[in-house]
Amino acid sequence: MMNTMIINRPAGLSLTSTLLLVTAGLLGCSAHATGPTTKDIVKRDNGVAVTRPKHDPATMNQPWPADMESAFWDRANHSIAQYTTFSPATTGEHEKWNYPTAMWCYLNGQHAPVIAFFEAPDGEHPWTDQVDLYWCFTLKGQARKFFFFEPELSDAYKQRMRGAMKKWTADDPRPTLELVLALDSDIPGVKEYASQMLHAMKVPAATVLKWADETEPINKEFAAHARRVAATPGYDDDPGDDTAKWMAWWKLWADGDWKVFEEYERLSNPYPHPDHGTGTGPVGGAWDPKVRGTRADARNTDNLRSMRETTAYLFAEEVGNDNVKNLYKEKLKRFTVGLYHTGMGEWDSETYHPHTIMPWLTLYDYAKDPEVKLLAKATLDWLHTAAALKFHHGGFAGPSARDYGGAARNLGGPAAEYAALIFGGPIDHKAGYDEVHIALSSYRPPLAVVNLARKDLKLPVEHLNTKPTYSHWLPGASDRPLYFETMYLGEHFTLGSVITRGAAGDVAPMKLTAKHDTGVWYFTANTGKWYNRLEAGDQRGQYENLLIHLRKGDDKPFLFQVPKDAPQQTDAGIWFIDLGTTYLAVRPFGLELGKPQPPTGNRAKSYSDYHFINATQTGNAVAGYALEVGDKATYPTFDAFTKAVKSKSKFQLEGEAATLTSADGKTLKVTRNAQHNLPGVERDGKARDWDSEFNIYDAGDAEEGVWLGWQEGTLEVKAGGKHFTSTVGTDGSVKFSE
């Protein structure tokens, strides 16, 4: 076994000069005995370094100060030391976990077994030379594996992998009806290539009806919609080169559920899977190539499509398949433009937000085209800003889409874990498997974004933000936002809530985080579930530290999540809760609070610090609660807060309108809207206007915060005396300043 040399981190590390030096030739984790500490970077003892990618300064943010960079590597090494084993399994999408875990173990010294695993044949994918280029998570790992670890891979394997790339990107591995959007592309060859595929995918009405008959036993929804589409007058007309006519045709299919138009994409795929054809269908719960029939995982969530599209671009660029390279450059451009002009469909997901970041890190590191590198940078700056606003002292605050109950631990879900690694948190933690990508990347967020994440800005500050519908790229879907969010950043707490016109089954609509020594305490109050459900009929209004939640009497219970050890008392009908640095005054109305219950089932362990209080509605009148939050910066003690609320705060319920006046004189009035979920909200007598308040981020006239106007394209972040702007035009042009 070769010896490992340890060198101290050089002084004056910067983004342009720092090297990530890794060992070679170790067979196990014996590096623990003499291996990297939190103050060392390991060097290969033959003296050849694997460096982090070098970039043109035009694509880079301001380098981090040496102490900030050093602290990041301390956090990264804390995680590296804890990754001691990995599984070499490759069946299905096991590489989702096993590739990044193996990368951590490589950094911990397990070089030979990791490289052997990386080069192992995967017999499930014969047509790509036993290299898995199907599953999206695997694609993300394959890209980082090939480009970062290339110096360690054998020549024979690199040749085999390049051959697989060439086959996989010979044609679009996942054609979609979004190709209509590429008909206006100014990238050479894209319009022609997209038009060719669209003409192949536009089958006659007779074929559509045949598919409807054949698929009805397994997909009645598709069959019914397909018959309606086929009966559209002029359906068989050729749109030629008329983009408007193609958009109208696409809209016919897009107006169906995603399972409808993706079923059509499956059946009309011009480049079906070489081994499985167009698949068995139906589109729905199974994603493997035998069912979907695509050459790449067809799932279309933001995080998965980012994995697929960045990898397709990089691999096509690597092997010179220009049609696919240019088409995917167009796709990447549209994603970035979408962020800066309408927002993100899978917004602020406490589970998936970091999974979207990781493939863009690889694109930033390895794209050869400087325009694509700038798109990656702009995307990463936006995604890190979104995470920084929600990150609070190790937790993830406020509402989020695709939330799976991360309000449990100090570090919440994966989004908080990633943010703690890149931005720094109150405690060291073992980073999640996917977070190895930031340890292998040269990207660093702008300093203003780092300050925002650390809440090093002039507080308090309120943001009135919006979020788009999920598939906002579909025809007409980006005309207006779907969600309206209020985020209030206090000195010691963050309170956020969101409302929409209907229900949202995967949105956590309200969350409060309260700072303590080693993280945050969470408080949530929702209808029906403790997380992940914005129920139809929920009507919320927020004004800074005040929040009212009401609904018309029905059988839906309210559910409160409260730290079990938090001191509590009830006085004059007000439920007071002491979270240490943050104090809550909850006024239930039309509710009967049950007894605190411990978490059960799969919640029992992760939520062991909390209990849940079920509150049933007592009649058919409006029911809910009014919340006032006090900050230790304003009220030095819990007792001072309770006295101020009892003597100065007022609450009034008149019919279907609830009014809360706070101890410091602010007034929030929320009036139920029987037509949809957007209530009347008045703040100090000024009504919110849901038809004009469209800004993606808006800190108002605050000195520091985040701003991004609807369809305007300029992101601005001010925090801790730093000022960052990034502008993305509708043509994909990128400009930034820091």
CB 6 within 8 A of CB 30: no
Please report where in the chains the tokens 């609830």 appear, as a residue: 658
How many other CB atoms are there within 10 angstroms of residue 48's CB atom?
Answer: 11
Cα first-last separation, the chain: 47
Which tokens sit at 708?
Answer: 């991004």
pLDDT at 38: 26
pLDDT at 55: 59
What is the tens place of the pLDDT at every residue in 437-448? 999 998 999 999
What is the tens place of the pLDDT at every residue in 681-699? 999 999 999 999 999 999 9
CA-nearest of 622, 493, 594, 623 to 546 is: 493
CA–CA dist 40, 7 (Å, integer): 6
Our CA dihedral for 500, 501, 507, 508, rounded to 10 degrees, sits at 50
CB 512 within 8 A of CB 495: yes
Block means of pLDDT (10 residues each) for the chain, length 738 residues?
26 32 32 31 38 64 88 88 94 96 92 96 97 98 95 95 98 97 96 98 98 95 97 97 96 93 97 97 93 96 97 98 98 98 96 97 95 97 98 94 78 87 90 92 95 98 96 88 97 97 87 93 87 85 98 88 95 96 97 92 86 91 96 97 98 96 98 91 97 97 98 98 98 96
CA–CA dist 324, 165 (Å, integer): 11
In what helix (H) or strand (E) does residue 251 lie, and over which residues does it extend?
helix 243-254
Please report where in the chains the tokens 């970091």 appear, as a residue: 354
In what helix (H) or strand (E) does residue 576 lie, and over which residues does it extend?
strand 574-578
**528's torsion region: left (phi>0), alpha (psi -120 to 50) or beta?**
left
CA atoms within 13 A on the CB side of 496: 28
Q: At what angle do helices 66-80 and 95-107 cross, to 10 degrees?
A: 110
- Give bridge partners of residue 651 from the DSSP assignment: 660
CB 396 within 8 A of CB 388: no
Q: What is the CA radius of gyration of the chain?
A: 27
CA–CA dist 171, 154 (Å, integer): 27
- Give bridge partners of residue 658 from the DSSP assignment: 653, 670
pLDDT at 53: 52
What is the tens place of the pLDDT at every residue in 595-652? 999 988 877 888 899 999 999 999 888 999 999 999 999 999 999 999 999 999 999 9
CA–CA dist 300, 291 (Å, integer): 16
Please report where in the chains the tokens 């209020």 appear, as a residue: 486
Diameter of the chain measured on Cα atoms: 79
* Backbone φ, ψ for residue 35 (5° rounding): -80, -160
How many other CB atoms are there within 10 angstroms of residue 109's CB atom?
Answer: 27
CA–CA dist 149, 143 (Å, integer): 10
What is the tens place of the pLDDT at every residue in 34-79? 333 322 334 433 433 334 555 567 778 888 998 998 899 889 888 9
Helix, coil or strand: residue 342? coil
Q: Rounded to two decimals, what is the model's pTM? A: 0.93
CA atoms within 13 A on the CB side of 458: 10
CB 60 within 8 A of CB 737: no
Alpha helices in 367-501 (DSSP H): 370-390, 414-423, 436-439, 447-453
